[in-house]
Amino acid sequence: MSLASSHPGPGSKRGSGARYLVVLSLLVATIVAVSLINPAFATVQNFRDLLGQCAPVVIVGCGMTLVVLTGEIDISVGSLLGLLGALIGVLSSPQRLGLPPPVVVGLVLMAGAAVGLLNGVLVTAGRVPSIIATLGMLTVLRGVTELIMGGEWITDLPPGIRVLGIGSAAGMPWCLWCAAAVSLMFVVVAHRTRYGLRLYAIGGNPAAAAMAGIHTSGVKTAAFALLGLMTGVAALVTVPQQSVVESGIGVGFELVVVSAVVVGGTSIRGGHGGITGTVLAALLLCGVRPMLVFLKLGETATYWERAIQGGFILAAVLLDHWARRDARGRAVGVIA
Amino acid sequence: MSGPIPAGSTSRLITLHEAILAALLVAVLAFAAWLEPSFIGLNTQRELSTHAIELALLSIPTCLVIVSGGIDLSVGSIMALAAVVLGMLHESGINMGVGALAAVAVGAAAGSLNGAFVAAVRVHPLIVTLATFAAFRGLAEGVSLGRPISGFPDFFLRIGSGMALGVPLSVLMVLLIAAAGLVAVRRSVAGAWVYAIGDNERAARYCGIPVDKVKIALYTLNGAAAGLAGVLYVARRNTAKADVGSGMELEVITAVVLGGTSIFGGRGTILGTLLGVALIHELRELVSWHWQHDELVRIVIGTILIASILLNNVVGWRRP
């Protein structure tokens, strides 16, 4: 199973251009439907909360999109989020190290980028398949997190750190500002810079990209490091939202992120897709739980959240299959 | 030796990678003997062996799936679904034997869904099984409403804890399945097909190998094994809940890759996988036994996984 195989078909950057329109219409349709059934859903306050919950997925999803575009994957982001959350707690809590907030922020961002860099080096220089490298890292990071937490939760985050999570500017919490800024930045990087062009090139046809003189290892490693940095950003704006740092943060997070990337139209083989789709799909997937709550189907409805998210992914791949069939006039993948 | 020799393996009975793993296993046990002599006592090992049956049972067919060039992230979720089905059938008064069969059948059906998406819809197995990982566990959570079911009859629980020939019953079952798998893969045409598909799928198709059917069969088998693992888990723990098998998929892939199977397909053996399972099992139990610190285990296993690939690449006799 190779993630970065070259594949036939039109190599347009917005190869799944229709996809994010589909996701957008689905998102709008579900929002409208739920609002009609329960008007309490359609308030500014509620949308703000919803967006706030999606923020970490959006932030990390942007970084993940770049990695997937090169044909790789990183399933360790959940464990990294947990580790960085624990780091925030340990570094800033007066009972532990009690460092000043700016130092904590700097250290957390550096740690995130460093882990991302390590992943990148393992994949490029170590030639370890990215799914294995990040699978190993996922386990190691979770172990390190438990080690530094020492079996206790951290309950006394100082206000200087908590303001990152609960503070706001002009009515919008920091996490929303971050998510918006990161999304815009990444759209620019992916579609308007030479680096973005190289990303798509590597994912589309690694051999051709290398022959064209693109420094594949450098581009990939940078993508991984950037993803780690974004995980740091996400940790800084979401972990301080709670006053307690627990050891189970981030479990399962990587799957929501990868799902958002895939549902948003980015091909797992690389070379196709984009940031917009990821952001929209993140909103859709994260919105499932709040929507279920507002539909007032009873307590038990929220148990179906994961099933519905899985259903979305399957629907996305079916759509892809049918779309490709039409575009080429025959089923893709058949020997011809 | 007679019979078709799968591409990617050698005609020797045991490969270099397997020999290294066996040596590592012996080293770990020797270290354990020095550190904590009671650990390697036969009685202790016998009791501890039941902890590894689900991992072993899941790893064998997953090895074949990965050798064929695919992957299956949904095995833990299928386990949960089967366990929940068993629990709910038991609650509605249905006979345990029927319930167990139904659970395995549900597992097989789930696996065939994976296979259908991979082979017929031609979706990347990572995506399919990522979706079904969420969907199946979600289904289990939704159907059981998150609550645990216990109170299973004694004769059923004895499957989990009973002995036969001085070895736990469930371990014996898994060993038999492993032996059957080993023989089947080495000596059957279908076994050779699996390796051919993993090595070069297009060429396999040109050779007339029914690639799609083989793939669907592999995923269905994987699902059935996961269903059986779910049943055995319930028999062992007397509880069926939707969080059964959480995280199993990662352990399984770790064991399989550690065992020498290439994630790209075409290479890997069941013997290697079993050694990988044994190594992870012994390390985990040893650390639990001596240090009672689970987090150390995770770090060790993750590091070993990455190190084994790195070493292979450095030594250079495997393509990355």
What would the pLDDT profile of B193-204 be if each residue is shown by its tens digit? 999 999 999 999
B132 contacts on A by Cβ (under 8 Å): 310, 314
Tell me, what's the pLDDT at A100? 87
B19 Cβ contact partners less than 8 Å away, ≥ 6 residues apart: none
Residues of chain A above pLDDT 90, percent: 42
For residue A327, pLDDT over 70 is answered with no
A85 Cβ contact partners less than 8 Å away, ≥ 6 residues apart: A235, A239, A245, A249, A250
CA distance B281 to B47: 12
Tell me, what's the pLDDT at A325? 63
Q: Given the DSSP bridges, would you call strands B163-164 and A172-173 parallel, antiparallel or unpaired?
A: unpaired
The strand pairing partners of B163, in sequence order, are B168
A301 Cβ contact partners less than 8 Å away, ≥ 6 residues apart: A292, A293, A295
CA distance A244 to A157: 7
For an interface test with B, give the residue of A306, A312, A318 to mutate (most B CBs within 10 A). Answer: A306
Which A-chain residues 250-269 have CB contacts (< 8 A) with chain B? Answer: 255, 258-259, 262, 268-269
Among A193-197, A294-298, B43-47, name the most confident range: A193-197
Compute the average pLDDT of residues A184-189. Answer: 94
For residue A333, pLDDT over 60 is answered with no
* Closest chain A residue by Cα to residue B138: A307
- Note whether A317 contacts B309, CB cutoff 8 Å: no
Q: Which of A1, A258, A320 sits opposite B265 (nearest CB)?
A: A1
Tell me, what's the pLDDT at A232? 96
Tell me, what's the pLDDT at A198? 93
Tell me, what's the pLDDT at B12? 57
Roughly how many angstroms between the first and final C-alpha of chain A, as a whole number? 21
- pLDDT band with cut points at 50, 70 and 90 for residue B61: very high
CA distance B11 to B2: 10
CB B97 within 8 A of CB B130: no
Tokens linked to B108: 């097989």
For residue B315, pLDDT over 70 is answered with no
CA distance A232 to A107: 9
Which A-chain residues 123-162 have CB contacts (< 8 A) with chain B? Answer: 126-129, 131-133, 135-147
CB A13 within 8 A of CB A270: no
Torsion of CA A74, A304, A278, A31, to 10 degrees: -160
* Closest chain B residue by Cα to residue A131: B263
Tell me, what's the pLDDT at A171? 77
B71 Cβ contact partners less than 8 Å away, ≥ 6 residues apart: A1, A131, B65, B125, B126, B129, B253, B263
CA distance B130 to B25: 32
For residue B156, pLDDT over 60 is answered with yes
Tokens linked to A26: 């689905």
Tell me, what's the pLDDT at B291? 77
- pLDDT band with cut points at 50, 70 and 90 for residue A42: confident
B298 contacts on A by Cβ (under 8 Å): 139-140, 142-143, 146
Q: Which residues of A13-40 are buried (b: 16+ CB within 10 A; e: fewer)?
A: bebbeebbebbbebbeeebeebbeeeee
The pLDDT tens digits of the residues spanning A87-114 come to 998 888 888 788 888 899 999 999 999 9
- Note whether B296 contacts A262, CB cutoff 8 Å: no
Between A291 and A281, the more confident residue is A281
A144 contacts on B by Cβ (under 8 Å): 295, 299
Among A303-307, B32-36, B108-112, B177-181, name the most confident range: B108-112
Q: pTM of the prediction?
A: 0.85
CA-based nearest distance A174→chain B, Å:
30
CA distance A49 to A40: 13
Q: Compute the mean pLDDT over every residue in chain B, rounded to the nearest whole number.
A: 85
Q: How many CB atoms within 10 Å of residue A45?
A: 8
Tell me, what's the pLDDT at A219? 95
Q: What angle do CA A98, A252, A139 make, to 5 degrees?
A: 70
For an interface test with A, give the residue of B253, B298, B300, B314 to mutate (most A CBs within 10 A). Answer: B298
The pLDDT tens digits of the residues spanning B62-121 come to 999 999 999 999 999 999 999 999 999 988 888 888 999 999 999 999 999 999 999 988
Q: What angle do CA B110, B68, B247 make, to 5 degrees?
A: 50
**Residue A85, CA distances (Å) to A112, A145, B224 in order:** 11, 9, 39
Length of chain A: 336
Tokens linked to B173: 């079952």
CA distance B140 to B134: 10
- Note whether B141 contacts A306, CB cutoff 8 Å: yes
Tell me, what's the pLDDT at A9? 34
Residues of chain B above pLDDT 90, percent: 39
Between A307 and A13, the more confident residue is A307
Between A74 and A250, the more confident residue is A74
Between A29 and A3, the more confident residue is A29
C-alpha A54, offset from chain centre = 10
Q: Which of B235, B193, B233 is nearest to B214 (CA)?
A: B193
* Closest chain A residue by Cα to residue B81: A307
CA distance B80 to B226: 9
- Note whether B145 contacts A300, CB cutoff 8 Å: yes
For B312, half-sphere exposure in the C-beta direction (CA atoms, 13 angstrom radius) is 23
The pLDDT tens digits of the residues spanning B215-269 come to 999 999 999 999 999 999 998 888 888 888 887 888 899 899 888 898 888 888 9
What does chain B look like in DSSP terms, one character per residue?
Answer: --SPPPTTS-SSSS-HHHHHHHHHHHHHHHHHHHH-GGGGSHHHHHHHHGGGHHHHHHHHHHHHHHHTT---S-HHHHHHHHHHHHHHHHHTT--HHHHHHHHHHHHHHHHHHHHHHHHTS---HHHHHHHHHHHHHHHHHHHHTT--EE---HHHHHHHH-EETTEEHHHHHHHHHHHHHHHHHHHSHHHHHHHHHHH-HHHHHHTT--HHHHHHHHHHHHHHHHHHHHHHHHHHHSEE-TTTTTTHHHHHHHHHHHTT--TTSS---HHHHHHHHHHHHHHHHHHHHHT--HHHHHHHHHHHHHHHHHHHHHHTSS--
For residue A134, pLDDT over 90 is answered with yes
CA distance A299 to B132: 24
CB A61 within 8 A of CB A257: yes
